[in-house]
Amino acid sequence: MSSLRPDSQAAPQGAGPQPRGWSHAVSGIAIVAFAAFLALAWSAVSTLFLVFAGILLGVFLDGLTQLLGKVMPAGRGLRLSLVSLALAGLSLAMIAFGGATVMQQGRELGQTVASQAGTVRDRLKDYGIDVPGLSAPKKAPEGQAAPEGDKDSTEPKGQKTGGLAGLASGAMESPGSILSDAGSVLGPAASVVIALFSALGNVLVIVFLGLSCAADPAAYRDGAVRFVPPRHRERARALLDGMGETLRHWLFGQLITMAVIFLCTWAGLSFLGIGGALILGLQAGLLAFIPTIGPLIAGVVIVLAALASGLTALLGAIGVYLAVQTLESYGLTPYIQKRALDIPPATIFAGQLILGVLFGLWGIALALPLMAVIKVLLAQLYIEDTLHEDAEA
């Protein structure tokens, strides 16, 4: 006799909806919810990048606090306060003692670069090569605003400006609002005020998020882990700790690299007697935060600035730039960043291009830390947990 019962004798199913009957509906709801989440994230991508920048600052402050704890056995709150005060004091000192020099050299350098860019444009035109990027921007008649078509936008189409800049621009465009009325009266001055307000506001948002995350990182980590099923919480906690450690190592290594590039570029260009050496070194160090693309932009600015000092200075500036880039590519990065981020240069460049096209300037600036986080996710969740292989192999 067969052990299988006829369908008519099968055990009756329990009352209520069955999982099989609801599978299509649940799948549809999940797809719609995921699509809505992606649409919301896309519209607020600038704000999300602003939050990520705040988290990066929190990781940096947390790393400094941990380092201070190795030489100063005090409470975490006291160590974080000392670190924050030291960084604030250093920033104020740089502004107080070097701000005037930077402003003066920056103004002179801007005029020199603009003049040399025009010279290069004219020389290329003599050979039948027209470079629109080197053309001078069109100036609107006095008393009139610039045409809408000439305004550059760093935000991809379909996305709204995030952070306080989005709030300010929305208030400016809203008819009948106080800021809109002020903008119609003040004209171009209102745009400058709004731009300054948004820049300072975004800095304050990043600082606030960084201090909040650094004050109690375990609370934010445990809060995120609570959304994970209990059997996977230990793995989620290890994953978040791994991402934090990777970002911390990358940040410290990147800051060391930026400082060395700044000092070497400044010293080399000063020795050659090129005007604006301080601001040129500063922009080279800051642009080193953006690999591949940043050094290229810094090199173009250095070459344009050196053109005004003659052929000898130009060749010397190119030599300084190449020497600094060789030091960074073959000396600093392999030894400092090897532990934190071991990604092939072509992969980094491709990732920058993709994120830059999708998210504009934010995507280019934060491409490397984002790729560091993605690398940790792939290494632990896919290579180790799914393929059961060693991620370090």
Name the least confident of 43-57, 107-121, 281-295: 107-121
Q: Contact, 101 vs 275, CB < 8 A?
A: no
* pLDDT surpassing 80 at residue 149: no
Burial of 128 per CB tally in 10 Å (0-12, 13-18, 19+): exposed
Predicted pLDDT at 393: 57
| Residue 374 belongs to some domain of the structure | yes
Name the least confident of 100-114, 156-170, 289-303: 156-170
Residue 255, sorted as left (phi over 0), alpha (psi -120 to 50) or beta, turns out to be alpha
| Residue 271 belongs to some domain of the structure | yes
If you average pLDDT over every residue of the chain, what do you get? Answer: 77
Predicted pLDDT at 148: 45
Predicted pLDDT at 70: 87
| Residue 57 belongs to some domain of the structure | no
Could you give the CA distance from residue 248 to residue 339 in angstroms, rounded to a whole number? 11
| Residue 117 belongs to some domain of the structure | no
Could you give the CA distance from residue 162 to residue 53 in angstroms, rounded to a whole number? 13
| Residue 174 belongs to some domain of the structure | no
Q: How confident is the model at residue 323 (pLDDT cuts 50, 70, 90)?
A: very high
Q: Which residue has the higher pLDDT, 98 or 48?
A: 48
- The amino acid sitting at 189 is A
Tell me what the mean pLDDT of segment 54-72 comes to: 91
Tell me what the mean pLDDT of segment 287-309 comes to: 85
Question: Any idea which residue has 């003692």 for tokens?
Answer: 97
Number of domains in the chain: 1
| Residue 366 DSSP code | T
| Residue 14 DSSP code | P
Predicted confidence (pLDDT) per residue in 99-109, tens digit: 666 666 667 66
Q: How confident is the model at residue 324 (pLDDT cuts 50, 70, 90)?
A: very high
What is the C-alpha radius of gyration for the chain, rounded to an integer number of angstroms? 27
Predicted pLDDT at 62: 92
Predicted confidence (pLDDT) per residue in 114-140, tens digit: 777 777 777 777 777 766 655 544 444
What Å distances lie between residue 181 and 26, 100, 151, 354, CA to CA?
49, 35, 21, 40
Handedness of CA 77, 94, 47, 377 (dihedral sign): negative
Q: Which domain holds residue 382?
A: 234-393
Work out the angle at residue 109's Cα, subtended by the Cα atoms of residues 107 and 115, and round it to the nearest 5 degrees. Answer: 105
Predicted pLDDT at 85: 93
Could you give the CA distance from residue 337 to residue 258 in angstroms, rounded to a whole number? 12
Question: Any idea which residue has 């809505």 for tokens?
Answer: 36
| Residue 67 belongs to some domain of the structure | no
Q: How confident is the model at residue 237 (pLDDT cuts 50, 70, 90)?
A: very high
* pLDDT surpassing 90 at residue 208: yes
| Residue 336 belongs to some domain of the structure | yes
Query: Which residue, among 58, 20, 7, 336, has the nearest Cα to 208 in the 3D structure?
Result: 58
* pLDDT surpassing 50 at residue 2: no
Question: Any idea which residue has 């830390």 for tokens?
Answer: 369
Q: How confident is the model at residue 98 (pLDDT cuts 50, 70, 90)?
A: low
| Residue 151 belongs to some domain of the structure | no
Q: How confident is the model at residue 337 (pLDDT cuts 50, 70, 90)?
A: low
SS3 label, residue 389:
coil
Q: How many CA atoms lie within 13 A of 127 on its CB side?
A: 6
Predicted confidence (pLDDT) per residue in 339-372, tens digit: 667 777 788 888 888 888 888 888 888 888 888 8
Could you give the CA distance from residue 370 to residue 379 in angstroms, rounded to a whole number? 14
Instruction: Give percent of the chain above pLDDT 90.
Output: 18
Q: How many helices (H) and strands (E) does the chain have?
A: 15, 0
Name the least confident of 125-139, 227-241, 260-274: 125-139
